Amino acid sequence: MATVELDGFLRLNRASLSEFQAALRLLAVLPSIQCRSAGDSDSAVGALYVAPSDHGTVICLAVEQALMITGWDSPVPLWLRVLAGQVRIGEKRGGRDVHSDACRTAPGALTLHLAPGTRVVMVIPSERIPVPVGPASRSVSGSTVCCLIDRFLLQARFFLDSKQAVAGTRQLVSRLVELETTGQVLADLELPTLDRRVQRAIDRIRSKPDWQFDLPELASHAGASERNLYYLMKRETGVTPYRFYQRCRLVRVRRRLVDCQCEVPHISHYAADEGFSHLGRFAALYREHFGELPSETIQWRRALLDRAAGRQAS
């Protein structure tokens, strides 16, 4: 299951129930978390995407089957944005259903029920970032929270490196805290719409994995001159057509590395399949973009598998 918005932040894919639970415990720093599924415990629960920063973390859960998460006894509030499906939130003050909307939870014990096919974004502030609970926070509308998170999701599709990703995540948390503090944000809340020519170029690059970059062909497909497409895309997304093409290739390699559970991972083969012929240059680009080496992506999944196995054994 893929989420276009956070495809560059894939941490787990086709994860088992024990992996999913181990990942949430690790990322939320809450060892009390328990995950239960209505389906077969050996079948894939779904995917997990993570964008970290020093101000907080953005986590996207994309589940294929119904999932109940208990033991989420968080010292900080959470912002939730449901992109698809439905989430039932249980708190001390009662329960509520969230569908295609956003909300903020209070600190304390939470129970989350995710329907099959649900995609939910969770924004978790760092404990050192104070989030007020008062009149301003009570007046915050779900639509405003939706807009702030949706703007981040749109921008995240075009982050060129891990530094941009960290800065974008930090900014999202800061704006949500500002919203809770004052009841308003200074940023423009209009969700931008990409020029149709830029959108056509993006769709072409994303939908044709085997396509070799050809700017004249891409411009013709988009309905613009080469020069115009270059500047339109740079203006509206912050990236050039070629850099976006390169990003998409890196993301496809990352997906394969995240999925890799073989004894000897063929990193060079995966890179070569996406047109990266020089392994050293590929590794440098990968680290710049994702903040870790390709081998570290594989090691994270393996360590999680060991952690999950250890939890089951105990």
Q: Judge if 84 and 222 occupy the same domain.
A: no
Q: CB of 119 within 8 A of CB of 62?
A: yes
- What whole-number distance in Å separates Cα of residue 191 and Cα of residue 115? 27
How far out from the chain centre does Cα 148 lie?
Answer: 15
The answer to whether residue 201 is domain-embedded is: yes
Q: Judge if 200 and 147 occupy the same domain.
A: no
CATH number (domain holding residue 207): 1.10.10.60
Per residue in 90-138, pLDDT (tens digit) is 987 778 888 888 888 888 899 999 999 999 999 999 988 888 765 444 5
Across 204-226, b (16+ Cβ under 10 Å) vs e yields: bbbeeeeeeeebeebbebbebee
Q: Judge if 110 and 132 occupy the same domain.
A: yes
The answer to whether residue 304 is domain-embedded is: no
Q: Judge if 200 and 170 occupy the same domain.
A: no
Q: Judge if 164 and 200 occupy the same domain.
A: no
The answer to whether residue 44 is domain-embedded is: yes
| Number of domains into which the chain is organized | 2
Q: Judge if 154 and 267 occupy the same domain.
A: no
- What whole-number distance in Å separates Cα of residue 215 and Cα of residue 228? 11
Query: Would you state the pLDDT for residue 286?
Result: 96
First to last CA, the chain: 31
pTM value is 0.90
Q: Which amino acid is at 61?
A: L
Q: CB of 242 within 8 A of CB of 226?
A: no
- What whole-number distance in Å separates Cα of residue 203 and Cα of residue 75? 41
- What whole-number distance in Å separates Cα of residue 246 and Cα of residue 275? 10
Q: Judge if 243 and 207 occupy the same domain.
A: yes
The answer to whether residue 47 is domain-embedded is: yes
Query: Would you state the pLDDT for residue 126?
Result: 92
Q: Judge if 43 and 163 occupy the same domain.
A: yes
- List all residues 6 or more positions away from 252 whose beta carbon is below 8 Å from its beta carbon: 209, 274
118 DSSP assignment: -
Q: Judge if 72 and 142 occupy the same domain.
A: yes
- What whole-number distance in Å separates Cα of residue 113 and Cα of residue 194? 34
Residues of the chain with pLDDT under 50: 1-2, 135-137, 139, 313-314
Q: Judge if 34 and 77 occupy the same domain.
A: yes
Q: Judge if 55 and 119 occupy the same domain.
A: yes
Domain that holds residue 187: 7-192
Max Cα distance, the chain (Å) = 63
